[in-house]
Amino acid sequence: MFSILRSLSVAAVSVDAGWRPYIVSISLCIFFCHVSCLKESDGVCSFAKGQQLRMVLKRLRTCCCCSAKHTDNDDKIDFGGGNVHVITSKETWDRKIEEANKDGKIVVANFSASWCGPCRVISTVYAEMSQTYPQLMFLTVDVDELMEFSSSWDIRATPTFFFLKNGQQVDKLVGANKPELEKKIAAAAGGGGGGVAPDAK
C-alpha cells in the first residue's frame, strides 16, 4: 500500500497539471480506506502505521495543484470541547498537573490523533464526561503535535487514556471503549463501579 502511494505521489509531480487532481483523489481514497482498516475491534488505531500514512499524505498534498484546497486543518478535530484542556507543550502539561495536584484532582489524560477514527468518535463522549465530572481534570494530547512527549509515555495506539494522581499513573485504558471509559471515570470521581484504584502505584 505504501509503495502504491509513493508511486502516485511521484506521478502527481511529473504528469500534466490537468491530471493531478485525479491522481490525488485516487491517492486519498486509498489512504482513507487503509486508515479505516486501522480500526480494530477494541477501537484503537496503530500509532506507528498512522504516522507513516500521515507523512505520505502530507507529501501528496504539498506536491499537487490542489494543495491550497487541502491543508492540515482539513482533518483537525476539536479536542477542546467541554471542560477538556488541550495540551500544546510540555510546559502546559506540567502546569496542569501541578494545578491538579494542588486542587487534589485526579487527571484523565487522553492521547489522541486527528487521523484516528475511534479518537474522533470518543472525543465527543470525553468532552461530555468532562462536564459531568468537574471534580476531575481532563486533558487531551494530540500525538501529532507533541510526538516526542507522546513517545515518552510509550503510546502504541490511539486513543490511550491515563489516570494520574499526584502526577503518578494509577490506571490506563487503550482504545475507544465507551462503557469501560465511563466506568473508570466514574470510579475516579468517586462514583464506584470499579476502575481506578486511587492509591495504586
- Please report whether residue 40 resides in a domain: yes
Residue 129 and residue 159 in one domain: yes
Tens digits of residue pLDDT in 139-182: 999 999 999 999 999 999 999 999 999 999 999 999 999 999 99
Strand 160-165's sheet: what is its strand order? 84-87, 137-142, 107-112, 160-165, 168-174
- pTM comes to 0.66
How many Cβ atoms are within 10 Å of 41's Cβ, its own excluded?
Answer: 6
**pLDDT, position 151:** 93
198 and 106 in contact (C-beta within 8 Å)? yes
Q: 75, 106, 136: which is the final residue of a domain?
A: 75
- Please report whether residue 197 resides in a domain: no
Average pLDDT, the chain: 76
Residues assigned a catalytic role: 116, 119
Distances (CA, A) of 73 to 33, 35, 45, 69, 124: 20, 18, 20, 10, 19
> CATH number for the domain including 153?
3.40.30.10
Chain centre to alpha carbon of residue 131:
20
65 and 21 in contact (C-beta within 8 Å)? yes
Tens digits of residue pLDDT in 67-121: 334 444 545 566 778 999 999 999 999 999 999 999 999 999 999 999 999 999 9
Residue 120 and residue 148 in one domain: yes
- Please report whether residue 200 resides in a domain: no
Say if residue 159 is preceded by a cis peptide, omega within 30 of 0.
yes
- Give the Cα separation of 152 and 142 in Å (integer): 14
- Please report whether residue 194 resides in a domain: no
Query: Cell numbers 477494541 correspond to what residue?
Result: 42
**Long-range CB pairs of 55-61, under 8 A, 24+ apart, other chains included:** 56/2, 56/5, 56/6, 56/9, 56/31, 57/27, 57/28, 57/31, 59/9, 60/5, 60/8, 60/9, 60/12, 60/24, 60/27, 60/28, 60/31, 61/24
Neighbouring residues of 73: CB distance < 8 A, sequence distance ≥ 6: none
Residue 91 and residue 173 in one domain: yes
Residue 92 and residue 173 in one domain: yes
- Please report whether residue 154 resides in a domain: yes
Residue 98 and residue 34 in one domain: no
Beta bridge partners of 174: 160
Helix (H) or strand (E) holding 98: helix 90-103
Q: Structural domain of residue 19, as residue ranges? A: 2-75
Burial status of residue 34 (CB atoms within 10 A of its CB: 0-12, 13-18, 19 or more): middle
What is the tally of structural domains in the chain?
A: 2
